[in-house]
Structure 1
C-alpha cells in the first residue's frame, strides 16, 4: 500500500506539473516511446518520462566520449579551449534558462541538449566532412552528425541494442541544426512518428536534408537556437585565446548591440529571445539582435572557421580520417575494428559495411584517432639492434 501511495503521488505531481506549463509546452503525458518496452517493471521508478531519457544519455558510452572531442579548434593544447563536453553542458544550461523563462518542459530540453552531439565525429566538422565524402565516394549516402546521434542512441549503444528513447527527444536531436540561424523558429507540431522516421532516413540518403527539417516541439526549437548561442560567443573567446583574432576585430555594429564577450553575448541573446517569444507558439529574435547575430556568424565563419591557419591544419586532420576509413573499409579484421565488431550483436552486424566503419570512426575521440593513425601509418622505431 505504501508503494501504491508513492506512485499515485508521483503521478499526481506529474499531472500538476503539466498543468502549470505553457500551453505551447510539451507535456510529460504526451511522451511517446519509439519502441514497445518488453522489460517488466520490477522496481519503483519515480522519474518523469524525459528524466529517464536524460539518464540514458548521461550514462551512454557516446556521452563519455564527449570529453575528448573537438568543438571548433582541434589542435591547440590550451586547456581552456572548448571541448565538446563543455559545449553540450553550456547548450543544456542556456536552453534550460530559455525554457524556464518560457515555461516549457525543461526535462525534455535537457535530454535533447545533452544528446544533440552524441554522433559527432572526431575533430568536429572536419571529421564529419571526411566521413560524408567517404560515404559519397562509395555511393551509399551521406553523413550528418545529427542523424548519427540518433543512430548511436537507437542502434549502436549497448552492443547494438540501443536505448528506448522518446520520440520527442530523438526528433529534437535530429533537428538541432546549429549551422542555420533564423529570425523565427517554429515547430512542426503536426509531425508524426512516421514523418520523423522519414526525415531520419532522408538525412542518410539526401545531402543537406538536415537543413530542411524542423523540430516537432518548441523545446526542440529552444535547443536548436541554444546550440548557436552556446558556440558563437565561445568561439570568439577561444580564437582570442589562441591568438587567431583580437577582440577589437569584432564589427562595431555587432558589439554595440550584443556585446563582445561570451557572457554578454549569451545574456543579450537569451533575454531577447525570451522577451520576444513569451506566450507565443514559436521563438523569435528582435530584428536588431537578429541582424547583429547574422553579422557575427558571418564574421566568425570568415575570420575563425576559415582562418588560413585552421584551414591548413584541418586538411591534415581530414586526410587522417579518410585514410583510416579506407583501411577499415578494406579490412574489417583490422586491429581495433575487429574487436569493436566482436562486441556487437548479430542484428547490428547486418548493417552495411560502410555504416559499420562510419560507426567505429565517428565514435573515436580525437586522441584515440590520432594514436591509431600513428600506429597504422608511421614506422615503429627500434633503438636496440644486434650487431652482425
Structure 2
C-alpha cells in the first residue's frame, strides 16, 4: 500500500504545516492511502460546483466583453501557480497553499466587487455580506454533494487559512479587530460555534503565501486586461512606479517590439519582480523570527510573508493607477452600476417571494424568520454566474440594465 505521508513528499521547513500533524476535519474521516489531507482538500475544491461557477464570474470585465479577459476562474488559477511558487521557495506545503489559492474566491458574487457591494447593501439589516466569509460558507455549508455531511469537510488547516489569510480577525477575548472591529461576519461567527479556528492568531506561511499571491496576480493581470480593453496605454505606464522601469527595460532590449508582446513582457517581469521580492523579504523575516514550528508562526506578532517596503510603495502606486484608470473608468463604472441594480432587484424579488427560488433553496422557509430568509436568498444570488443573473433578471423584470 502507498503511504500518503511519503506520496509526493517535498523537503519542508520546521515552520511548515505538516500533513501528518493536521488537526483533522469537523467530521472524522479515514485517511487516504494515496493523498495527504491537503491534496484531498485541493481535489475536493476543484470538483466543487462553486469552483466550476468561477468560469462565468467577473474579475474586472464581464464574461461577454471578450474571451481574452480574465474571469474569476482564470484569476484563481494564476493565484494558485504563484502561491505554489512562493510556497516551494519557502519550503512549506505547496498543496495546502494551492488549496487555499483555489478556494479564496469561492464566495464571490456575480459581477465581482460590484455584486458584493449590492448584496452587502441589501443585507445590512440582516448581518451584511462579505465575500471572504461567504467562501467559508461555501465550503462548509452550501456545497451539498456528500451523503454524510454538508460542505466539503475540509481540513482544519485549510479552513483556518481561508478565514485568516489576511491576518487575525479577533483579539484573544474574541472581540473583532481591524476590518472586523464592528463584529465578525455571519458565516464566520456561525462556523466558529462548531470549530475553533483560533481567529485571534495569524495563519500559516502557506496561507500567507496564497494571500500575497492574490495581490501579485491581480495587480499584474489587471494591467494586461486594461491594455487589452484599451482603457490604458503603454505610454501611461511610463508614470507608474516599477512598471515604468520594466517598460524601459523591454524597449531597450527589444526595440520595435509590438505592443502586444511588449505588454506581455512587462506583465511577466512584473510578476517575477514581485514574487522574488516576497521570497527575499519573507526569508529575511523567517531568519529574524526563527519560528521552529507552525505554532510559532501562528503566535508571531506580525505577518511574515509580505512585500519589502520599497515594493509595497510600488504596489500602492500600481493600485492607485488601476483604481483611477481601470476600476473607476466611466464605461466600467456604468456597467458595474447596472450590475449592482441587477443583484439588488434579484435579492428583493426573491426575498419577497422565496417560493420562486428553486425547490432545493426554499425548503424550511415557510414561516421562517426574515433574517433566515434573507441569508438563504443572499446565498442563492451570490452563487449565480454573471450569465444566469442577467437571464433571471430578464425573465423576472420588464427592463434589464444594459451591461454591454
Q: Do the structures match in fold with TM over 0.5? A: yes
- Out of 91, 114, 119, the residue aligned to residue 103 of structure 1 is 91
- Out of 174, 186, 194, the residue aligned to residue 204 of structure 1 is 186
**Contact 2:133–2:187 (8 Å) recurs in 1:** no
2:141 corresponds in structure 1 to 155
TM-fit CA distance, 1:140: 1.4
2:339 corresponds in structure 1 to 317
TM-fit CA distance, 1:247: 2.1
**Does 71-80 or 226-235 show the bigger shift?**
71-80
Tell me the TM-score normalised to structure 1 length: 0.80
Is 1:228 matched with 2:219? no
Q: SS of the residue aligned with 2:231?
A: coil
Is 1:171 matched with 2:191? no
TM-fit CA distance, 1:153: 0.7
1:23 corresponds in structure 2 to 14
**Whole-angstrom CA distance in 2 between matches of 1:270 and 1:44:** 33
**Whole-angstrom CA distance in 2 between matches of 1:322 and 1:31:** 41
User: Using a 3 Å threshold, how does the CA distance of structure 1 residues 267 and 133 change in structure 2: closer, same or farther?
Assistant: same
1:253-292 equivalent positions in 2, closer than 5 A:
253-257=241-245, 261-278=266-283, 280-281=285-286, 282-292=304-314
Tell me the TM-score normalised to structure 2 length: 0.77
- Out of 347, 356, 363, the residue aligned to residue 383 of structure 2 is 363
**Whole-angstrom CA distance in 1 between matches of 2:235 and 2:336:** 26
Q: SS of the residue aligned with 1:227?
A: helix
Q: SS of the residue aligned with 1:161?
A: coil
2:293 corresponds in structure 1 to none
1:144 corresponds in structure 2 to 130
**Whole-angstrom CA distance in 1 between matches of 2:9 and 2:69:** 39
Q: SS of the residue aligned with 2:184?
A: helix
User: Using a 3 Å threshold, how does the CA distance of structure 1 residues 287 and 44 change in structure 2: closer, same or farther?
Assistant: closer
TM-fit CA distance, 1:256: 4.2
**Whole-angstrom CA distance in 2 between matches of 1:224 and 1:156:** 23
**Whole-angstrom CA distance in 2 between matches of 1:50 and 1:345:** 34
User: Using a 3 Å threshold, how does the CA distance of structure 1 residues 332 and 252 change in structure 2: closer, same or farther?
Assistant: closer
**Whole-angstrom CA distance in 2 between matches of 1:195 and 1:58:** 34
- Out of 232, 247, 254, the residue aligned to residue 245 of structure 1 is 232
TM-fit CA distance, 1:31: 1.6
Q: Which runs of 5+ in 1 are unaligned?
A: 1-5, 178-186, 207-211, 380-388
**Does 240-249 or 222-231 show the bigger shift?**
240-249
**Whole-angstrom CA distance in 1 between matches of 2:271 and 2:49:** 30
**Contact 1:128–1:145 (8 Å) recurs in 2:** yes
TM-fit CA distance, 1:224: 0.7
Q: Which runs of 5+ in 2 are unaligned?
A: 189-198, 248-262, 287-303, 400-404
Q: SS of the residue aligned with 1:278?
A: helix
**Contact 2:241–2:318 (8 Å) recurs in 1:** no
1:34-73 equivalent positions in 2, closer than 5 A:
34-37=25-28, 41=30, 45-73=33-61
**Whole-angstrom CA distance in 1 between matches of 2:284 and 2:242:** 28
Is 1:32 matched with 2:23? yes
